[in-house]
Amino acid sequence: MSSEQEQESIRCLVAKVGLDGHDRGAHVIARAFRDAGFEVIYSGLHKAPEEIVQAAVQEDVDVLGISILSGAHDTLVPKIMDGLEEYGAKEDTLVLAGGVIPDEDRDELKELGVAEIFGPGTSIEETIEFVRENAPER
């Protein structure tokens, strides 16, 4: 199997959780992931943590990118991580968070199992590289 085909099989869910109505960043990432050859599912706005977990599990995604700008990451992300764990999907899902997440909250999110946090100004290439290098092997 060529590395080209492997790249294409990376399935990503780009998710907007909570009441945050700003989705331009999520759309930019979704488009960039598609252009990079990933399969991308976009959750749409205003999803509850449970809905994100359901979608990630049903779609059997390799990567879950959570976009949060509302400041509610400290309550919403733990619910998503717990949900993934309940379904036995936490181990084989690369979870990324993007948006405005203060430095002092990052360690806590990483302890919960978030692989990486991409703040404003992160280059798209950096994010794509991270996914290629860290997405679970199928």
Three-class secondary structure of residue 66 per DSSP? strand
> What average pLDDT does range 1-15 have in this prediction?
69
What pLDDT shows up at residue 19? 81
If 0-12 CB within 10 Å is exposed, 13-18 middle and 19+ buried, where does residue 67 land? Answer: buried
Confidence label for 63 from pLDDT (cuts 50, 70 and 90): very high
Asked if 92 and 72 touch (Cβ cutoff 8 Å), the reply is no
> What average pLDDT does range 18-26 have in this prediction?
83
The model's pLDDT over 71-127, given as tens digits with 9 standing for 90+, comes to: 888 899 999 999 999 999 999 999 999 988 999 999 999 999 999 999 988 999 999
Three-class secondary structure of residue 91 per DSSP? coil
> What average pLDDT does range 33-57 have in this prediction?
95
CA–CA distance, 67 with 124 (Å, rounded to integer)? 14
Residue-wise burial string across 110-134, b where 16 or more C-beta atoms lie within 10 A, e elsewhere: eebbbbbbbeeeeeeeebbebbeee
What pLDDT shows up at residue 70? 77
